[in-house]
Structure 1
Amino acid sequence: MRTEIPTVDLKEWQSHGPGRRDDETAAAVDTALRETGMFLLTGHDVPRASGEEFREAGLSFFRLPRETKLRYEIQGQYDNGWREVHRNVGIPDAAVNGADTAPDLHESIYVGPTHRTGDAHFDGLFYPANRWPEELPQLQAAADAYTAHMVRVAEQVNGLFADLLGLPRDFFNSRARKATWTQNVSWYPSLSRLGQVGTGRMRNAPHTDLGTFTLLNRQPGKGGLEVWNEVDGWFPPAYPQDSDTLIVILGDLMELWTDGRWRALRHRVPAPGADAAEDEQVSLVFFFEADPQALIEPLAAPVGGGRGLEPAVAGESILGKLGVPLTPA
């Protein structure tokens, strides 16, 4: 029997004060985060039209000639701009043969916040500039509108996490005033467009995300998200494909912060089978992190999981896993 992934109505959750929330929902979400690392989110007031405009603008960019897109190519592991069909930049799953070497079957365009501190080196590391294509001014407009909603929802999800753990509601948000985040539009082309691909190639190889959590706005289709836990192994979580439901994916920083009480979601996106060679999808993926200088100190038991994980500085943890040096060469 597959693990049930609970759904939280964010508007309903926020309408009740502490101590008056649905204990059954809270317990179900806590269990899902302990065992798998995800839940579904409704009631977030993100207009469907905003997501669709951003998705369509991203797809328009991907349809540009490769020579044009190369002008906006990212220049490093933690950067903004276009990335061609590429290796996943999360934490690869070493248990899967070749997972960290075979390029994933998707391309992406990345954007991030415009925070600035005045320290050029620091800002270059943690708040890299966006590369907006001159050919598509609508892309920046659509991205700005959509990511404003994502930042709002991320702050509300941080409050929900604090509620679940019995912490002050601003516990996580107080450490995310100028949080790093990355929003991408990822295009999974059809197999008929890609042509022959090797056995075992994936749209997105098994990995965990680097930040505190991810908000995924996905489309219906074949070869969609699969997740892993110790009870079920790999399985496709139930998802209402005709709705505006977001998927909340826990990342490495939150597993560290809760000292292992909650787990970063191990997930992947397989390629569709030959019977779905025309299937393609465009996903909107918002990776939320924390202030780059925030010290992530594992919460003590019984709130934390008691694994004895070592504290880490948020930005250093993320860049370190990506192999990005913190000091100039």
Structure 2
Amino acid sequence: MKAVSTIDISLWRAGGPGAQDVAAQVDEGLQRAGFLLVRGHGITAELAADVRAAARKFFALPTEVKNKYAAVVGERGWIGPGMEANGYSEGTQTPPDLKETFAVGADTATGDRAVDDVWFRANVWPTEVTELRELLTVYTAQMRRLSDDLLEMFAAALGLTANPFDGLADRPTWTCNINHYPPLSSVGEPEPGQFRIGPHTDFGTVTVLDREPGSGGLQVYTDEGGWEDAPYDPEALTVNIGDLLEYWSGRRWPSGRHRVLPPQSDAPEEDLVSLIYFYELNHDAVVIPLTEPVGKVSDLDPVVSADFVKLRLDAITL
């Protein structure tokens, strides 16, 4: 898929003329698709493999065991099948997504219960897979550092002399979802219009995805090409921007629209696990959209991050 650019963030971190070239590639790539493949990120394949292996052990537990950790969308723990339909975020009534999820998130409580009960719930850790806690703690810390670098790089890509996110993400409301996409023998024949994840855009600033390729895998939508299989590079992470960053960019960069296909007839026993890090800002961060000529429009009002994201989370919860 030619619309998705591959960039090397290590060249940007090194500074100099190479960094300027990368920044230009970022701007061009995000204008086309809202997606990038990011190499040179410094996160080892071994760490992701260990997280994935521990997650598979959890997902293989009996349903009655996983029910001890049951949660709904936006909470921490096990979000079982039938709980989520991402197509609703676009106003499309679709059958539930064919997946299950284990979710963790930021637990840096503010002391305000009305805030903490939504954005900073305590994480739930399965006693049956004790290694998952340590592995995910290390993994999400590295994801946060990468996401901060991505936001700084995005600001540079637009020629901004200062990073506007410096004071907006010291207590971010990130979430990390591990999605399990079971095989056809487990989920049954998909209903019409049913996906592993229905068509949608993400809601926050950046999403960092470590994925397994597959026939029933990730597809990306562009106006020029329609739906196409997302490119896969084993040395790269897949990064897309969400609705909040699109809004901040003054609609210069489209929020990356995507979906995950249902199990396919040519690979009915395909069983995939994706690690998905959703990065948002502080719950009370005020996002002031860029105006023309950097942005494409100049009539967008400031928004509060939590209000903006929560509205979209509620829309996909069944």
Q: TM-score range by the shorter chain?
A: over 0.9
SS at match of 1:173: coil
Post-superposition CA distance 1:158-216 (Å, at most 9, x none): 11101101124532232111110110110111112223332332111000101011000
1:276 alignment partner in structure 2: 267
Aligned-partner Cα distance in 2 for 1:119–1:22: 41
Quote the offset at 1:259 in angstroms: 1.1
Aligned-partner Cα distance in 2 for 1:275–1:222: 8
Instruction: Note the 1:136-147 alignment, pairs <5 A.
Output: 136-147=129-140
Instruction: Note the 1:1-329 alignment, pairs <5 A.
Output: 3-17=2-16, 20-21=17-18, 24-74=21-71, 76-86=72-82, 87-89=84-86, 92-94=89-91, 99-240=92-233, 243-306=234-297, 308-323=299-314
Quote the offset at 1:116 in angstroms: 1.5
Quote the offset at 1:34 in angstroms: 1.6
Residue type of the alignment partner of 1:8: I
Contact 2:291–2:297 (8 Å) recurs in 1: yes
User: What is the aligned length?
Assistant: 314
| Between 47-56 and 304-313, the greater mean CA deviation after superposition | 304-313
Q: Which structure 1 residue ranges, 4+ long, deviate > 3 Å from structure 2?
A: 21-28, 88-91
Aligned-partner Cα distance in 2 for 1:61–1:90: 27
Question: Structure 1, unaligned stretches of length 5 or more?
Answer: 325-329
Residue type of the alignment partner of 1:117: T
Contact 2:73–2:79 (8 Å) recurs in 1: no
Aligned-partner Cα distance in 1 for 2:23–2:125: 41
Contact 1:90–1:210 (8 Å) recurs in 2: no
Please report the RMSD computed on the Cα atoms of aligned residues, expressed in angstroms.
1.8
Quote the offset at 1:77 in angstroms: 3.4
Quote the offset at 1:92 in angstroms: 2.6
Post-superposition CA distance 1:269-324 (Å, at most 9, x none): 11132121011110000000101101111112222221522221001111122339
Aligned-partner Cα distance in 1 for 2:19–2:54: 39
SS at match of 1:100: coil
Contact 2:12–2:22 (8 Å) recurs in 1: no
Post-superposition CA distance 1:50-78 (Å, at most 9, x none): 1111111111111111111111111x432
SS at match of 2:196: strand
Question: Structure 2, unaligned stretches of length 5 or more?
Answer: none
| Between 208-217 and 230-239, the greater mean CA deviation after superposition | 230-239
Aligned-partner Cα distance in 1 for 2:74–2:169: 18
Same amino acid, percent of matched pairs: 37
Contact 1:211–1:253 (8 Å) recurs in 2: yes
1:327 alignment partner in structure 2: none
Structure 2 length as normaliser, TM-score? 0.93
Aligned-partner Cα distance in 1 for 2:3–2:251: 21
Post-superposition CA distance 1:204-240 (Å, at most 9, x none): 1000101011000001221111111111111113222
